[in-house]
Amino acid sequence: MPLVKTWQLIAVSAVAGLALSAATVAAAGPWDSGQRKAERVKAASWGRTGGADHGADTATALPQAAPSAPGVLAGVRPAGAGSGDASGDQAGAADSGALAAALRPLLADPALGTARGASVIDTATGKVLFEAGAREAMTPASTVKIATAAASLAALGPDHRIRTTVTPGAGPGQIILVGGGDPSLTAKKKAPAGSGGSLVALAADTAQALKAAGTDSVALGYDDSLYTGPVLHPIGENPNLAPVTALTADEGRPDESFSGPVKRSTDPSRDTARAFAALLKERGVKVTGEPAKAKAATGAVPLAATLSPPLAGLVERMLTHSDNDIAEALARQTALASGAPASFDGVARAIGAKLAALGVDTGGSRFADGSGLNRADKISAGLLTALLAKAADPQRPELRPVLTGLPVAGFTGTLRTRNSGGSPAAGLLRAKTGTLSGVNSLAGTVVDPTGRLLAFAFLTANTPEAGAAEKGLDKLAAAVANGS
């Protein structure tokens, strides 16, 4: 009998090890390739939350341990399960009745203001489990970012990346920094928010290309003409949003923050070009004079380029931290992809049209911006749950980051301190918050005790006090998580 050689033993062991690893991963599933990308790039930072007025400053709060799910949780029920016989229909009706009985008194809480919209649906079957004013278009605040996310993913796909380039200018010795609208672009050596477009890398590549061509002195122009219309949001200067331009580094922030309100640059395009000039000088390229606005030639071949993370990652970061700057950038990218102007007016047309193309009812909706800072935004609770159900549809995997980017109750982003501790929703519920003065909203998903993936949305108006309204919304969401 021939001897077994050492290399044969190694090969057999390797194959066996791979098989065991594959079996382990399969058993631990299901897995979503987009799951928690934002967390992996520190989107669960314990810093200040993003967006407008999403609660008190938590900068001094200590991090909490990640909450654990109950010991046994039923698998998510596939479409059609439990509806094949009369007993299943009766059980579903009983579940709906118990949920309605639990939600109605909570929805009547005076802390929730004078107008409310509510919708809870089973994402697998589309069955309405509870609704109250679900078709009434209301000011959604930051929950409109769910619509912005769905529209941008539908228009561009989750793998799309936004380019910032440097091209030769019209005259000798001139180069032009061309903005593509990348909201992740940073001038810092270590990006505070994780991976993204890097002016540092772009300067290094540009300097290398210039030196290879025998150039060590340039005049720098910058082109931010991709976006049109006013750069200031209709609310004017605001610490929750920089002027919206196609060339902005670090969201126009003057400090090391990457989320939350802070006074912004009044001219992000010029400041970004100045930062780029300084980076070129550090790499041995002299920049003569001040950077000046210029127009890149159509079809010019770039000397160098830097890319944003895939759109899926930007969507997750936007939703987790309620990032208004990313939201407005993605809204303009949606407009560009739809052939509309990259302006607030173009956004208003493009987002509604893209959502309607997904097959959801957008009647009464208005998308005055992408972030929800504009009170002219109008959306219904029913539209929000319909979009969440679309994102959960196995036939629409490109929309999945809408779900994976939602903050986790008691754990991440703008929900880190809400429905935490002993709440039945802690660690299980994922939702987008929304807060403006007198407006509070919450919309997301949760797997209920029977294994159904439910989508819910609660919108309120004329709330007397934000803290009390948030507690009321959290009680509603916990009741959905609890199944009654």
Residues with active-site annotation: 142, 145, 322
**Tokens matching residue 2:** 């021939």
**Tokens matching residue 413:** 């982003």
Which of these, 122, 149, 169, lies nearest to 448 by C-alpha position? 122
Return the bridge partners of 446, or none. 454
> What dihedral do alpha carbons 47, 50, 54, 57 form, nearest 10°?
30
C-alpha span between 431 and 408 (Å, rounded): 7
Residue 108 burial (CB count, 10 A): 11
Contact 195, 41 (CB under 8 A): yes
11-15: list long-range contacts, CB under 8 Å, 24+ apart: none
